[in-house]
Chains A and B, each alone.
Chain A
Amino acid sequence: MNDDEDLSAPVTMEMRLSVNGIGYPITVDTRETLLDTLRERLDLTGAKKGCDHGQCGACTVLVDGRRVTSCLTLTVALDDREITTVEGLADGSVPHPLQTAFVRHDALQCGYCTPGQLCSAVGMLAEARAGWPSIVTADGGSVDARLDEAEIRERMSGNLCRCGAYVNIVAAIAEVAR
């Protein structure tokens, strides 16, 4: 390594980021998180920053259909991956069934956790449909991915809601899971 090299200088990379079906050619700082890229560079402020440390789930988005906390995901690692944020859940003007259910069941108050809850729920339903066990379902030895309320709670426990809208969040997801 060259002694003159400034180790604190940013290292950047050109890449193509695909979000909600749109390709964005961008130059990213290799230290940049997906959450910051979405919010500060692409003007997609739907994903929220509640902690920036992977503790609250407000920043949850889908990468190739799987839920991730975007505050702990480095953008540079996402070349060729398909990212879906809350802004991309609806099918044009037709809302995702979970979006409709959240409104109908009043599964939100301030709504700050809602984008993360929704992305997490979309990912969770897909996991269950694919027959993925949760820690609990696996415990009995058989994979029973039936989403009763206890199972929904178990699988959604990474998303905090400080307004305490949990009772209605469970109801909204249960309606769609049925």
Chain B
Amino acid sequence: MTTSKATTSANTFGGIGGNLPRPDGTLKVRGEFAYSSDLWLEDMLWGATLRSPHVRARILGIDLTEAIAMPGVHAVLTHDDVPGEKHYGLDRRDQPVLAVDQVRYQGEAVAIVAADHPETARRAAKAIKVSYEPLPPVVDPAWALDPASPPIHPGGNVVRRQPVRTGVFLDGPGAPPADVVVVGEYEVGMQDQAFLGPESGLAVPAEDGGVDLYIATQWLHVDRDQLAPCLGLPPELVRLTLAGVGGAFGAREDLSMQVHACMLALRTGRPVKIVYDRQESFFGHVHRHPARMRYEHGADADGRLVYVKAEILLDGGAYCSSSLAVVGNAASLGAGPYEVPNIHIDAYGVYTNNPPCGAMRGFGAVQACFGYESQMDRLAAACGLSPVEIRIRNAVSEGSRIATGQLVDTPAPLAEMLAELAAMPMPDLPAERPGPDLRDLPGGVSQTTRGEGVRHGVGYAVGLKNICYSEGFDDYSTARVRVELLGGKPHVLVHTAAAEVGQGLVTVLAQIARTELGVANVTVAPADTRVGSAGSSSASRQSYMTGGAVRAACAAVRDRLAAHGPAESLTEILALTGPIEETREYRHRPTFPMDPFTGQGDSHTQLALCVHRAVVAVDVELGLVKTVELAAVQDVGRILNPIALEGQIHGASAQGLGLALMEEIQMEGGRVLNPSFTDYLIPTILDMPPMRLSILEHPDPHAPYGLRGAGEPATLSSTPAIVAAVRNATGLELPRVPIRPEHIALT
């Protein structure tokens, strides 16, 4: 159920604002959409990867003899065979293509094989003999902060430390006087993106000595720019085409099998396909940074914040990946969307021998949000205010400044959103002792009681997320738009390198082209590297950035058409001119680095808000939680496609629910204990409750159509709202997510 104060009216021919169906939806429901794992060439080989069983070890030797001798095996490669640069990475080139002289986490790739059958490749990989000398690992991120911990990379284990200091804290750590002080320590477990379509791709050697890679990824160009140096090839000889992507959520920002497949293809002269299975997928991509946080909030007697102090420690695991940006987000957004005169935050990212952590939906902001929102509830209780009231009292609005000193110079209607959320009707709650309908009980049909121990609770939370890339990054996207007559009718072709990962971008790009050019017939070409970079399908940025680029390219086309005078119809003009094509790059307002000592600076280009209310039923004897309803209010500036937008909010809320109640990669001494869907649980259709949505449109004048990125914000507030509801039902502190049954039942 959705209400929206939409000002947008859908135009009649499929422009922005309408519930246009996905152009790829028909193929997807017919089973004909080609995902990367579906690709096939007659003469292709299959690749497999040998991974380290050790958390940290020196490699003493690798014996390939037996593997190479196996019938059907075409190549067995190690770091010695990497043609170019032996390391890659998004921000720091610290990750080896194949382990060189040591392994730094369990599951690190050591050698690769190509064979004529996937089973042969797998068995050959097993036949490789590696002799290791295990070393004592660093798995406690707090120890990694200690300069005495053994360095995992040269330069020590602190990847980034970002302080934020405002108000009195510019002069020192002493907190100003406050009537009420609440302190809390919180922990967030390691979440996995768990996209349903595992890592896969097909590399095809080309006659010009280059390689064509068909790949499920989030950013074709940054893959290429990491691949080409490793392959020792100029970028123009490394061509990437987006294959069907079975979900992403950040896990496809880093390379996985890309270099491996290309190396094997170039070595064997045959196409090589690599597909990870579910277990390998858990080792094949980065995860969400686990966090340990200590928060101290001081307020006056009316509940108005006087200061916030926070320490946020993020475990980046063995390689840097996106840790730099994750720390930046945690620091800059660490006080939340509140007006706070004095702020003292220290955010750290560290190297450990745990699995590498990097991008997952809402990164950095998700962890901090669990901390500051848990604190706001404590503060509300201490001040005798309701959770909604304390948040409204401290809410940012247009004209406020966030922790970095950055002015909120666009609408930020947080108080309005909270009021609207609180006014939404509550779901019909089953009675405190429900009848025989087990479906209403936590645990559902596996319930062993009649609900005697069931309590209900309600919780609220808000979240603040940056949209697009921040901290001075040159963030841009490119679009090529071509208008021509096809069969006597105007037709528009939109070509970008932006990755459709399920978010519905291809739908929205076509809608934008229709709106801008008034042409109904629009095709979005497959994404590849034959057009300029579109940047990543990350940071909720593609509608904004690639949407902005398509709009700009359409405007350039329109300018050329206008030269022919308004009297002539488009068809007449095109008949005269032939095809008209324009390519444009689009950039958002520039951002700036954070000051290394005070964290001050306009580091973000756009900020987005979401608020959630959760209603839960908790069986306090069994420790089981059922989310009865989630309600959300999000401001998106401008709705481009209502149904796709709602889907993003549903999906983001579901992943936040997973983090609150079930999802965690469990580790022991750096080893992953649960790399399967039997033991790593993600929400099912039974776990995901009905949602009530209200979507606001307060335009951001700096963004195309006034839109605000919408893919992530709901991931933030969903988790703390659900936890708050469970606390409300049980009276427990619950300082850690995910909440496990023993946190409730065994207390």
Contacts and interface: CB of A to CB of B under 8 A. Distances in A.
**B is a partner of A:** yes
Interface of A: 39, 43-53, 55-56, 58, 85-87, 89-90, 95, 99, 102-106, 108-115, 118, 134-136, 139-140, 149-150, 153-154, 156-157, 159-170
Given A46-B32, A164-B688, A139 B197 contact: no
B665 interface: no
Contacts of A169: 685
Given A50-B278, A112-B246, A161 B196 contact: yes
Contact of B247 (A87, A112, A168): A112
A115 B32 CA distance: 10
Nearest to B24: A111
A170 B31 contact: no
B225 interface: no
B197 to A, nearest CB: 4
Contact of B651 (A86, A109, A112): A109
10 contacts: A49-B37, A87-B30, A95-B30, A104-B21, A106-B646, A135-B445, A136-B437, A154-B444, A163-B247, A164-B654
A139 B684 contact: no
A109 B685 contact: no
A164 B683 contact: yes
Contacts of B29: 86, 95, 99, 102-103, 108, 111, 114, 118
Interface of A, secondary structure class, is loop
B196 A112 contact: yes
A163 B502 contact: yes
Nearest to A51: B278
A51 B275 CA distance: 12
Contacts of A102: 25, 29
Contacts of A45: 31, 34-35, 37-38, 40
Interface stretch (B294-302, B362-370, B555-563, B674-682): B674-682
B650 interface: yes
Nearest to B680: A55
Contact of A164 (B28, B436, B655, B678): B655
Contacts of A106: 19, 21-22, 25, 504, 643-644, 646-647
A167 B691 contact: yes
Contact of B30 (A99, A166, A168): A99
Contacts of A154: 439, 444-445, 686
A163 B22 contact: no
A84 to B, nearest CB: 11
B277 interface: yes
Nearest to A118: B29
A161 B685 contact: yes
A135 to B, nearest CB: 4
A170 B689 CA distance: 11
Contacts of A39: 38
A56 B680 CA distance: 12
B734 interface: no
A170 B33 CA distance: 23
Number of chain B interface residues as a range: 35 or more
A164 B19 CA distance: 19
Nearest to A43: B40
A103 B682 contact: no
Nearest to A158: B684
Contacts of A165: 647, 650-651
Contacts of B22: 103, 106, 108
Nearest to A90: B30
A140 B653 CA distance: 32
Nearest to A45: B38
A45 B31 CA distance: 7
Contacts of B445: 134-136, 139, 154
A52 B690 CA distance: 30
Contacts of B246: 48, 50, 110-112
Contact of A110 (B21, B245, B686): B245
A55 B194 CA distance: 13
Given A58-B196, A162-B195, A103 B26 contact: yes
A165 B651 CA distance: 6
Contacts of B676: 51, 53, 55
Closest 9 CB pairs of A and B: A46-B31, A110-B502, A164-B654, A111-B28, A112-B246, A164-B651, A86-B31, A109-B502, A55-B677
Contacts of B503: 109
Contacts of B196: 48, 50, 56, 58, 110, 112-113, 160-163
B690 A149 contact: yes
Of A48, A112, A157, A169, the most chain B CB neighbours within 10 A belong to: A112
A86 B682 CA distance: 24
Interface in B1-48: 19, 21-22, 24-26, 28-35, 37-38, 40
A51 to B, nearest CB: 4
A150 B439 contact: yes
B677 A160 contact: yes
Contacts of B277: 49, 51-52
Nearest to A148: B439
Given A51-B277, A51-B676, 4 more contacts: A52-B278, A109-B247, A109-B651, A139-B436
B102 to A, nearest CB: 32
B647 A87 contact: no
B652 interface: yes
Contacts of B249: 162
Interface string B432-445: 00001111000011
Interface string B406-450: 000000000000000000000000000000111100001100000
Chain B CB within 10 A, most for which of A135, A150, A157, A161: A161
A79 B368 CA distance: 56
Interface string B321-345: 0000000000000000000000000
A19 B215 CA distance: 29
A21 to B, nearest CB: 15
Nearest to B645: A106
Given A106-B21, A139-B438, A161-B196, A111 B33 contact: yes
A60 B35 CA distance: 17
A139 B682 CA distance: 27
Given A113-B196, A165-B651, A87 B25 contact: no
A99 to B, nearest CB: 4
Nearest to B197: A112
A101 to B, nearest CB: 9
B627 to A, nearest CB: 12
